[in-house]
Amino acid sequence: MSRLPNRRDLLAAGGALLAIGPALIKAEVPLQPGTRPWFEAYIAAFNARDYPVFSAYYAPDVRFFGQAATLEGAQAVVEFYRRVHARIDETVDLLSFVSGAPTRVAAEIRTTLVAREDWPDFPTGALVRGQRRQSINFAMYDIVAGRFTRIRSARFRRIENG
């Protein structure tokens, strides 16, 4: 039966692993759902527009209550982000993180939007090309079997032209 490598395995294989490099070692150890490294990997994938990676965090029937949309289903969430990212440069920064692993995490997230074109009917307020808008949101993520089943975001602060 296969198992995850433990510390002794890693030490025993030290020279070879060091030669291979830290990236592979990191890749060999799965990130535990609900932990900060696991969540940071989600944020990094989101900011890199790595849709296959960040969408893998969503359960097929995920319920999403964001600032700009309420959606149901992983496909709907991904399609929503594709539409947004076609017109807006969006970056999220993780400011605070509290783990209620393995079933829930709380995150304080700063979202920065920069409009690449006018979007007069953007759901959280009209945007004109080049406009930058920031907000700080408190989000709760429910987790089942390592995937988000519900995402809820509450606006804490909005920073116009931030």
Write out the binding residues for another protein, residues 93-132 only, by CB under 8 A: 96, 98-100, 103-104, 106, 108
Between strands 147-160 and 58-65, the pairing is parallel
- 133 closest CA partner among 111, 154, 153, 117: 111
Instruction: Measure the CA–CA gap between 144 and 130, rounded to whole angstroms.
Output: 39
Residues touching another protein, count (CB under 8 A): 18
Instruction: Measure the CA–CA gap between 78 and 118, rounded to whole angstroms.
Output: 22
Binding part of the chain for another protein, among 9-17, 24-32, 91-99, 116-124 by CB under 8 A, reads: 91-99
Contact string (CB under 8 A) for another protein, positions 27-66, x = contact: --------------------------------------x-
Pair 68, 122: CB distance under 8 Å: yes
Among 113, 115, 127, 139, binds another protein (CB under 8 A): 139
Instruction: Measure the CA–CA gap between 27 and 154, rounded to whole angstroms.
Output: 33
Min dist. Cβ of residue 35 to another protein (A): 10
Min dist. Cβ of residue 95 to another protein (A): 10
State yes or no: cis peptide before 102, omega within 30 of 0. Answer: yes
**Site residues for another protein per CB under 8 A:** 65, 96, 98-100, 103-104, 106, 108, 137-140, 152-156
